Amino acid sequence: MPVHPDQHFVTADWLSRHLDDPNVAIVDGSWHMPATARSGWTEYLAGHIPRAVFFDVDAIADTTSSLPHMLPPPEAFAKAMGALGIGDKQTIVIYDSYGLRSAARVWWTFRVMGAPDVVILDGGLPAWIAGQLPLEEGMPASIEQKTFNPSFKPAMVRGFEAVKAALGGDVQILDARSAGRFHGQEAEPRAGLRSGHMPGAISLPFGDVIEGERMKSSSDLRALFASRGVDIGKPIITSCGSGVTAAVLALALDVVGAPDVAIYDGSWTEWGGRSDAPVVSG
């Protein structure tokens, strides 16, 4: 496998030098909230990094669930990756159109499924474009079928009952939504959800770990977590609106070496819609 200098990120320059390397899989993981009226797929077709394939966060999911983009079963994920020409032995480079948002969710999904070498393009598509590097339109000319052997990591994901049981214990719950949504001062973007947060949760909007659409330095991240009273040595569950930006916090925690981090996959879309879920506001 190609050697990259960081276990979480590669630069646009590094990727440009490995564009033709068959051991490198390039993945566009762009995703947008429905209210933005933007389509990751449409934007991908209009221009993407050469050889990149599109990872549809909403389609590569558990389609039997009423909740959005829940993790798919490992077998379904493996089949989808094989069809996209992504193998588990490749270096998998993920990017999105913002810089660092949904790419973290795709990174986490690959990690949960056991991919040993998955990184994010530092600065995402904006950094690639700023470097005046080439773009490609439409679908890839051809995709060679690959084999992806999943090795599911259940410790990296939590469901409703596990999160509810964790309340009031030693597990820290970090909420990546805006402070207004956390405190119940802003309405949720999805209809029918209560406003507020889980009892004992800590507000840490995902944008606080990002600077210029790039992850902050590990020293700045450590200082940020400490300022919010987060002990990175203890178990942590991250949550958000629907499990996407919770992965930005999970990535930041991985950068600083937090040993026990999981994502609540249903996040507030599930929690705020259930009458048996305790909610605090203010």
Helix 218-227 to helix 246-255 angle, to the nearest 10 degrees?
120
Q: Compute and round to an integer the Cα radius of gyration of the chain.
A: 18
Domain-wise residue ranges, the chain: 9-152, 155-271
- Annotate 158-201 with DSSP letters as a single string: E-HHHHHHHTTSS-EEEE-S-HHHHTT-S--SSTTPPPSB-TT-
C-alpha span between 42 and 44 (Å, rounded): 5
Mean pLDDT of the chain: 96
Q: Quickly state the pLDDT bin for 264 (edges 50, 70, 90).
A: very high
Of the candidates 165, 231, 238, 234, which has an alpha carbon nearest to the alpha carbon of residue 201? 238
DSSP-derived letter for residue 48 is B
Residues 6+ apart with CB under 8 A from 179: 185, 203, 205
| Strand bridging mode 118-121 / 172-175 | unpaired
Q: Check: CATH 3.40.718.10 for 155-271? A: no
**Other C-beta atoms within 10 Å of 18: how many?**
16
Of the candidates 224, 178, 172, 231, which has an alpha carbon nearest to the alpha carbon of residue 198? 172
| Segment 212-232, tens digit of pLDDT | 999 999 999 999 999 999 999
Residues 6+ apart with CB under 8 A from 255: 8, 215, 218, 221
C-alpha span between 272 and 279 (Å, rounded): 8
- Predicted local confidence at residue 5, as pLDDT: 78
C-alpha span between 8 and 189 (Å, rounded): 31
| Segment 43-70, tens digit of pLDDT | 999 999 999 999 999 999 999 999 999 9
**Other C-beta atoms within 10 Å of 114: how many?**
17
Q: Vertex 226, ends 220 and 230: CA angle to 5°? A: 120
What are the CA-CA distances from residue 133 to residues 3, 13, 50 (Å)?
Answer: 21, 9, 10
CATH code of domain 9-152? 3.40.250.10
CA torsion through residues 201, 266, 257, 9, sign: negative
Q: Do domains 9-152 and 155-271 have the same CATH topology?
A: yes
Q: For the stretch 159-173, what's the b/e string if a residue is b when 16 or more beta carbons lie within 10 angstroms of its beta carbon?
A: ebeebeebeeeebbb
Q: For the stretch 59-82, what's the b/e string if a residue is b when 16 or more beta carbons lie within 10 angstroms of its beta carbon?
A: ebbeeeeebbbbbbebeebbebbb
| Segment 90-134, tens digit of pLDDT | 999 999 999 999 999 999 999 999 999 999 999 999 999 999 999
Q: Quickly state the pLDDT bin for 1 (edges 50, 70, 90).
A: low
Give the pTM: 0.96
Name the percent of the chain lying above pLDDT 70.
Answer: 100
Q: How far is CA 64 from the centre of its chain?
A: 21
Give the residue numbers annotated as catalytic, written as ranges: 240
